[in-house]
Every structure is written in C-alpha cells, then in structure tokens.
C-alpha cells in the first residue's frame, strides 16, 4: 500500500465531492464523508440512525432516491453499493439532480413531439372536408333570400366552422417545429404590444395590468412573433385565474447574458396535485380550455434555449421566463 495514501486516506475522503459511506456487515453506517453528510442533509450524529440494509434489497446495487434538503429544493441522489471484503460495504452517493432534470425534460420534449405529429395528421384530415362544408354552406346562403329566417342557421354553421378552423390552426402551431425567425427585438415593445392585445380581456375580467421596465432598452435576438405568442398564453392564463378580478404584474429585468420576464397574478393558484401536469399537451382544468397554451409556450421557450418555470400559492401564481440575449442556433 502507498504510504502517502495510508497517511492521508481520511483527509482525501473528506475533500472528495462524491459522498462515501462505510457500513459494517450488519449494515450500520460507521463513517460518512463530508459530501455524504451534505447530500443526505444530516449531521455526523445522525449516522447512527442509518442502516443501509433498509436502503438496498440486495447486497450490491444501485438506487436513486429523492430528498428534500434544508431550504433547498428536491434533489436526486444516486446510491451505489459495493460490497467489500468481510461483508462490509461502501456506498457511493452522487448528486444527480441535474441529470435527472435533463432526463425529465427530454422525456417531456419527446412526448410533445409525438403529440405534435398526431395532432397535425388529424388536423390535416379535418381541414379539407371542413373547407368543403364551408363552401357549401356559403353557396346555400347565397341561394336563399336575406329575409329568410333560415339564413341565421346557415350563418351559425359558418361561424362554427370558422371556430373549428381556428382550433385546428392551434394544432398546427403545436405540431410544426417552426424555424425561428431570429431578429433583434426590443423586449419592452414586445411586452407592450402583447399587453395591448389582451387589454380587452383584462378589462372584462376586472384585472388591472401593471408593467415594470428597467430604464433603457432591452434588446435580445429572438423570434418576436413567437415570444408574443408565449406571453399571450401566460397573460391570458393569468387573467383567467382571477375570476373576481385582481392584478397582473409584468416585470422585465436585465440579467447580464439573459433577460427575465416575470408575470405575477393574484389568482387562485395552481393546486399541488396538478403542478407537474400544466405543461402537458391537452392538460386543462377549464371547461372550454384546450390545454395547449403552456405546452406550446414551453416548446417555444426551449427553442430559444430559454426556460419557463412557475411558483404558486393561494395568493397567486408567478411565471418566470428567462431567455438568453443571443439564441444559440
């Protein structure tokens, strides 16, 4: 054995960034290095409570566990157990929170792509006969005199066809992984334009809209039409969450290489049991909702190499959109 290693083994273990725990043949843990204690969020005295037999079924194995750390969010820790001579074992702990999150995001993107293909196929098949129905209805309308009471029925048919067409366009939007039309855009302008477009629906719902901008211009390279679509979805959701009126705040902030758009509402919040589903395609809690707004927004933000997240509680919900100033192509 190397003398130097002999002398410094304990010290080396303490400075490692992976967690190491040693357990005797009964599974009782007798040592854990600093990284392991940090990972598990326990003090050295707490080690007595741990028995790795309870953690693993077999003698050797791998296992991922979720832990809630003090003051921090949930983390995912991978435990690897290796049996040493004499029945003792060493458990290696690695914080794989980031890998886990990336895996989840990839899964989500994959699911979105599949749903996208399916919806675009169906939407296409519906659009053609629908166009035929509309033409026929218009022809019929032309044939009967204006004062005939049946004109109203036909007009109604045409209005409903238009509504269906709009819905289908939504599906197309969702399906097409559009090419980004990246240009320099003045974010304040993009936000102001979007607020202008939703002002009516805010008024109708007694929602006061407040905008907060830093001094000077914030310009980023992005597809402004798509950004507007993202903002619109988030704004409309905010308004719809405030049944008896309220306040929606939009904050724009410069964060160096990134920008941050925060949308706060004073609505009812998002119940805990659906928080992990709101970005899923077709997930909606609204009687007339389609459930595509957030999944489309998620995709569009990701196409910009940005991020969209939220925090919510009984006093309202805050969506945070971060975008790089320069989209990586």
Ligand X SMILES: Nc1ncnc2c1ncn2[C@@H]1O[C@H](COP(=O)(O)OP(=O)(O)O)[C@@H](O)[C@H]1O
3: tokens are: 């003398």
Tell which residue, 96, 238, 120, 241, has the closest CA to residue 169. Answer: 120
3-class secondary structure, 151: helix
Half-sphere exposure of 238 (CA within 13 A, CB side): 33
CB of 236 to ligand X, least distance (A): 7
**Contact mark string toward ligand X, 200..239, x via CB under 6 A:** ---------------------------------x---xx-
277: which DSSP letter?
Answer: T
Among 19, 116, 246, 293, binds ligand X (CB under 6 A): 293
198 counts as binding ligand X under rule CB under 6 A? no
Minimum Å gap between C-beta 293 and ligand X is 3
* Residue 286 in the binding site for ligand X (CB under 6 A): yes
Determine the Cα–Cα distance for residues 95 and 89; give it in Å rounded to an integer: 20
- State the number of CA atoms in the 13 A half-sphere of 117 facing the CB: 5
Instruction: Pick from 289, 309, 315, 326 the residue near ligand X by CB under 6 A.
Output: 289
With CB under 5 to 8 Å by kind, the binding choice for 284 among Mg ion, ligand X, none is ligand X
Give the nearest distance from C-beta 234 to Mg ion in angstroms.
8
In the complex with Mg ion, which residue's Cβ is closer, 62 or 286? 286
Q: What distance lies between CA 188 and its chain's CA centroid?
A: 23
- C-alpha torsion 182→317→108→167, nearest 10: -70
In the list 270, 300, 321, 323, the residue contacting ligand X (rule: CB under 6 A) is 270
CB under 5 to 8 A by kind: which of Mg ion, ligand X, none does 217 bind? Answer: none
Subset of residues 200 to 259 that bind Mg ion, contact rule: CB under 5 A: 237
**Of 23 and 238, CB closest to ligand X:** 238
Nearest approach in angstroms of CB 294 to ligand X is: 3
The entry of ligand X, Mg ion, none near residue 56 (CB within 5 to 8 angstroms by kind) is none
Residues 199/209, Cβ–Cβ less than 8 Å: yes
The structure tokens listed for 175 are 């399906």
Q: Any contact of residue 278 with ligand X (CB under 6 A)?
A: yes
Q: Does 283 bind ligand X (CB under 6 A)?
A: yes
Counting beta carbons within 10 angstroms of the beta carbon of residue 265, is it exposed (0 to 12), middle (13 to 18) or buried (19 or more)?
Answer: buried
Q: Which of the listed partners (Mg ion, ligand X, none) does 241 bind, with a CB threshold of 5 to 8 Å by partner kind?
A: ligand X
With a CB cutoff of 8 Å and minimum separation 6, the contacts of 196 are none
CB of 97 to ligand X, least distance (A): 25
- Measured distance CA(92)–CA(18) in Å, rounded: 7
Q: Which residues in this chain contact Mg ion in the complex, by CB under 5 A?
A: 237, 293
């Amino acid at each position: 054995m190397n003398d130097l290693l002999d002398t410094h083994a304990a010290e080396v273990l303490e400075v490692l960034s992976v967690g190491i725990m040693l357990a005797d043949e009964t599974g009782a843990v007798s040592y854990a290095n600093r990284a392991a204690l940090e990972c598990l969020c326990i003090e050295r005295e707490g080690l007595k409570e741990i028995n790795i037999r309870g953690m693993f079924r077999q003698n050797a194995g791998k296992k991922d566990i979720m832990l809630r750390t003090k003051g921090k969010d949930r983390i995912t820790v991978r435990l690897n157990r290796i049996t040493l001579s004499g029945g003792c074992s060493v458990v290696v702990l690695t914080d794989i929170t980031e890998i886990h999150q990336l895996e989840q995001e990839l899964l989500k993107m994959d699911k979105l792509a599949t749903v996208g293909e399916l919806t675009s196929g169906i939407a296409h098949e519906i659009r053609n006969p629908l166009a035929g129905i509309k033409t026929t209805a218009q022809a019929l309308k032309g044939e009967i005199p204006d004062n005939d009471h049946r004109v109203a029925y036909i007009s109604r048919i045409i209005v409903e066809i238009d509504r269906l067409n709009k819905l289908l366009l939504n599906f197309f939007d969702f399906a097409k992984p559009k090419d980004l039309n990246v240009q320099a855009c003045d974010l304040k302008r993009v936000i102001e334009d979007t607020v202008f477009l939703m002002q009516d629906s805010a008024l109708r719902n007694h929602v006061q809209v407040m905008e907060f901008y830093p001094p000077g211009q914030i310009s980023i390279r992005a597809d402004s039409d798509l950004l507007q679509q993202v903002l619109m979805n988030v704004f409309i959701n905010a308004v719809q969450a405030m049944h008896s009126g309220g306040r929606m705040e939009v904050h724009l902030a410069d964060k160096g290489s990134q920008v941050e758009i925060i949308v706060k509402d004073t609505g009812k919040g998002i119940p805990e049991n659906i928080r992990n589903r709101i970005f899923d395609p077709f997930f909606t809690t609204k009687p007339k909702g389609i459930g595509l707004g957030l999944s489309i927004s998620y995709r569009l933000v990701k196409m910009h190499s940005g991020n969209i997240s939220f925090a919510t509680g009984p006093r309202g919900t805050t969506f945070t959109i971060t975008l790089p100033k320069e989209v990586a192509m």
